Amino acid sequence: MTRQQLIARAFVELADTLVDDYDVVDLMHTLGERNVELFEVDAAGIILRDTRHQLVAIAATSDEADLSELFVIQNSEGPCLDCVRSGEQVINIGMAEATDRWPNFVSQVAEYGFVTTHAFPLRLRSEVLGAINLFCRSHTTLSDEDVAVAQGLADIATIGLLHQRAVRQHEVLTEQLQSALNSRIVIEQAKGVLAERAGIQVGQAFELMRAYSRSQGQLLRETADAVIAGDVDSTQLRGSRPTRG
């Protein structure tokens, strides 16, 4: 595919969540994956505000970007916190500049070799639900076109999160987002359980569960519950993986 085709596919894929029932965790993982695919970044992590207005990790493209410390710190300082507070992008930030702004955040990120960071708000007008944080191991500058596309992807994902507000009250959305955050805890537990039982990497365990969920038309949380309970094993999960050409 050309880059323009990949961009078009990403927008269509994210817009496809505009249905009555969709998987918020899977939507956020898709958003992160498309950013890594389209831009010169090595990892992406997405955070959402919970009911206490704390920033909580909901999805990541790698275990490194998934470190809870990165997001715990960002409840005090960091690009995502600034992004969520202001509703504005925080982009093309090298570690030299970042050290002056967020010293604790930088010390944590530097352990994993990231030297450039970008953050885009998940927003609709004045409402900010969270942010996507992009991490780079090289000095990467996003072009104006890159910035426009990345923000567009974040915006369409936000519309997906807010879609049900058109037919339900605000309390329902709050409950849905909190449920997604709670689901992620169970999913993380299931990843560890499956990795240990099957002797595979945690990342592989997640991809198996995700593929199985999609093939069965069920939520990741449901698959995670089945894995933890022992109702679904690695052989069944592997049977759902798509064949690669």
Average pLDDT over residues 222-234: 93
**Domains of the chain and CATH, by start:** 3-166 (3.30.450.40), 178-238 (1.10.10.10)
Residues in contact with 121: Cβ distance below 8 Å, sequence separation at least 6, in sequence order = 83, 84, 86, 87, 88, 89, 128, 130, 131, 154
pLDDT in tens, 181-212: 888 899 999 999 999 999 999 999 999 999 99
Helix (H, G, I), strand (E, B) or coil at 82: helix
- The pLDDT, as a whole number, for residue 244 is 40
- Each residue's pLDDT tens digit, 101-113: 999 898 888 888 8
Q: What is the pLDDT of residues 90-143, one digit of tens each?
A: 999 998 899 999 998 988 888 888 999 999 999 988 889 999 999 999 999 999
* Contact call for residues 213 and 237 (beta carbons, < 8 A): no
Instruction: Report strand pairing: 43-49 vs 90-94.
Output: unpaired
Which residue(s) pair with 130 in the sheet?
48, 122
Instruction: Give the confidence band of 23 by pLDDT, cuts at 50, 70, 90.
Output: confident
CB 222 within 8 A of CB 213: yes
Contact 83, 48 (CB under 8 A): no
